Amino acid sequence: MVCIVTGCAGFIGSSLVDRLIAQGCRVAGIDNFSTGQHQFLEGALKNPLFRLIEGDLLDLPFLTQAFFGGDMVFHFSANADVRLGTEHPRRDLEQNTLATYNVLEAMRANNIKQIVFSSTGSVYGEAAVIPTPEDAPFPVQTSLYGASKVACEGLIAAYCEGFDLQSWIFRFVSILGERYTHGHVFDFYKQLKTDPAKLRVLGNGKQRKSYLYIQDCLDGIQLAVEKANDKVNIFNLGVDGYCEVNDSINWISQTLEVQPSLEYTGGDRGWIGDNPFIFLDTQKIRSLGWVPKASISEGVVKTVEFLKSNEWVLEAR
Amino acid sequence: MVCIVTGCAGFIGSSLVDRLIAQGCRVAGIDNFSTGQHQFLEGALKNPLFRLIEGDLLDLPFLTQAFFGGDMVFHFSANADVRLGTEHPRRDLEQNTLATYNVLEAMRANNIKQIVFSSTGSVYGEAAVIPTPEDAPFPVQTSLYGASKVACEGLIAAYCEGFDLQSWIFRFVSILGERYTHGHVFDFYKQLKTDPAKLRVLGNGKQRKSYLYIQDCLDGIQLAVEKANDKVNIFNLGVDGYCEVNDSINWISQTLEVQPSLEYTGGDRGWIGDNPFIFLDTQKIRSLGWVPKASISEGVVKTVEFLKSNEWVLEAR
């Protein structure tokens, strides 16, 4: 069995690669290193079960060749920066929607029938129902990132129907932990390293968000792939709760032993398309037996500790 | 006020053009005539209120120029053939998703703030709730066509949030009437013209579908644009009922005074991704005072009569 992992040098992708090869699976990893990090593959590259294929998902002939011999695709490559959508509206379209179309076409060309996809809780927009279940009311998109992931989900489901694929689609909250390379903990850590006495916070700090630790995330993905067997399997993944941005600031400050003064940019949203309250209903994945082991605060602390030990990632992008 | 109509030589687009210029509105119509018909613009082209701009929505520099001076965009250009998605998977992506992205970018470049979009009831996939309301449970796509229109809706909504646009998105059942150039009435008429004694029917004929007459459709669109003023306004449009494909065959046969023997290809779906039961809840648009005037059977008969008087369209594509 050969698993193909796109975005294999990214935060989630590289963590999955390590886990898959530890489980004895052969893995072909694809990355263009636009945001992926070679260092995240240091361990994998020493293992004969892993093969790195460097290239861009937007290059369909390349991708079709790269997928040769694969049995299952973990499509984890993405533009994952929700915030900058309006600055670069084409980026989400290309790196998410068009890249996913190419992944599906390359699968079709190689007769690969199974795809695991990292979607996002952002597809719910500003959800009318919180905690938000997978069958929440048809959402209205509020970010180009969410819109692009909805487009990917639609393409994947249509390919499942039209070309007899099987898919597992995961709508994540934000993921935390080792190899985390963007998001609020990253931004706050970077600011506090420059000036531990001051922290600029987008919005009013009262945005309520949910997070999940990377290893819990991967546990959920692997359990669902093993146990759920519909044509299209959609699962929320998140902890059973949420925190305020201000809570997270406290955990970060305590771990770093700093007491910054806080400057809020104001408003209930950190940026255009920011969702002031994200909290997913995870009954469906829990019914398969999944329970996340790390709390949000533990996830934040683990992330800060990773950043402390790996400050190179602060400058790596 | 200059209205831009994309797909201005198409079935719905050209019907809207005629109505807008009859109402005294200046209209810039864009079409690449891949499926549009010059004949549908014969009247409009005689009217100084109308200007035709020939070109392709996939050409963003062209489109950005074409949108100059526009106040509102009716984006009605699309690949509207649901059935052939799996034969040409790239077509829905390009002609729907990417074309809509370009429309939004050309609007942004020209500071045009309002867009009216022809979506589809196909975005509901195989709906869990029938009649299906606009806030039905988050659907799973079953066709590349539906997936591409969901992608368009997501892009439009994200642009409304990110760039302060306003949108009216209409999820249609199939539209019938004058200038109808594809769909089951078209296919059946064409078959019966070749051999009035025999009709090949995709599926078992028991698929339940809803239809709407073109002028009722345009009434609904114009009423909603006038009365609904949210940032993103989403409306189903359809009659308050449905028919079986077999009913439609009877109306067509009666109008043409033929009695074909029927050959069913079998199964409850006419093609991959066909939805065996489409029936939309139209309470929302009805609450604004809209009532469709033509029944499904009247729509079918009007369509057959149009085709009888305009047999050139049978060969025009």
Residue A113 placed within a domain: yes
For residues B99 and B115, membership in a common domain is answered with yes
Whole-angstrom distance, CA of residue A176 vs CA of residue B146: 34
For residues A298 and A309, membership in a common domain is answered with yes
- Tell me what the pLDDT averaged over chain B comes to: 95
- Give the range of the structural domain holding residue B305, as residue numbers without chain letter: 183-209+241-278+294-315
Residue A197 placed within a domain: yes
pLDDT in tens, B173-214: 999 999 998 889 999 999 999 999 999 999 999 999 999 999
A-interface mutation test, from B88, B148, B150, most A Cβ less than 10 A away? B150
Does the predicted model carry a pTM greater than 0.90? yes
Q: Is the pLDDT reported for residue A129 higher than 90?
A: yes
For residues A233 and A108, membership in a common domain is answered with yes
B-interface mutation test, from A161, A168, A275, most B Cβ less than 10 A away? A161
Question: Which residues from chain B sit within 8 angstroms of residue A104, using beta carbons?
Answer: 89
Report, as an integer, the average pLDDT of B143-148. Answer: 95
Q: Does A109 touch chain B (CB under 8 A)?
A: no
CATH number where A148 lies: 3.40.50.720
Question: Which residues from chain B sit within 8 angstroms of residue A87, using beta carbons?
Answer: none
pLDDT in tens, A180-202: 988 899 999 999 999 999 999 99
For residues B159 and B245, membership in a common domain is answered with no
Residue B102 placed within a domain: yes
For residues A49 and A8, membership in a common domain is answered with yes
Q: Is the pLDDT reported for residue B249 higher than 80?
A: yes
For residues B120 and B79, membership in a common domain is answered with yes
At A152, the amino acid letter reads C
Alpha helices in chain A (DSSP H): 11-22, 42-45, 60-66, 89-92, 99-109, 144-163, 184-194, 214-227, 245-256, 283-286, 296-309, 312-315
From the CB of residue A87, how many other CB atoms can be counted at a distance below 10 Å? 11
Residue B284 placed within a domain: no
For residues B117 and B193, membership in a common domain is answered with no
Question: Which residues from chain B sit within 8 angstroms of residue A163, using beta carbons?
Answer: 86
pLDDT top residue among B274 and A12: A12
For residues B104 and B188, membership in a common domain is answered with no
Residue B283 placed within a domain: no
Report, as an integer, the average pLDDT of A19-44. Answer: 97
For residues A127 and A197, membership in a common domain is answered with no
Partner residues linked to A222 by β-bridges: none
Q: What is the pLDDT of residue B215?
A: 98
Report, as an integer, the average pLDDT of B149-166. Answer: 97
pLDDT top residue among A80 and A163: A163
CATH number where A300 lies: 3.90.25.10
For residues A201 and A225, membership in a common domain is answered with no
pLDDT in tens, A99-126: 999 999 999 999 999 999 999 999 999 9
Q: Is the pLDDT reported for residue A90 higher than 90?
A: yes
**How many CA atoms within 13 Å lie on the side-chain side of B18?**
16
Question: Which residues from chain B sit within 8 angstroms of residue A158, using beta carbons?
Answer: 85, 141-144, 146-147, 273
Q: Is the pLDDT reported for residue B27 higher than 90?
A: yes
Number of structural domains (chain A) is 2
pLDDT in tens, B55-114: 999 999 999 999 999 999 999 999 987 777 788 899 999 999 999 999 999 999 999 999
Residue B249 makes CB contacts below 8 A (sequence gap 6+) with B188, B199, B201, B205, B262
pLDDT in tens, A208-247: 999 999 999 999 999 999 999 999 999 999 999 999 999 9
ipTM: 0.93
For residues B97 and B160, membership in a common domain is answered with yes
Residue B64 placed within a domain: yes
Q: What is the pLDDT of residue A276?
A: 85
Residue A89 placed within a domain: yes
Residue A124 placed within a domain: yes
Using left for φ > 0, alpha for ψ between -120 and 50, and beta otherwise, residue B241 falls in left
pLDDT in tens, A256-295: 999 999 999 988 888 777 888 899 999 999 999 999 999 9
Q: Is the pLDDT reported for residue A44 higher than 90?
A: yes
For residues B24 and B103, membership in a common domain is answered with yes
> Of all residues in chain A, what percent carry a pLDDT higher than 90?
90
Q: Is the pLDDT reported for residue B317 higher than 70?
A: no
Nearest CA in chain A to B83: A162
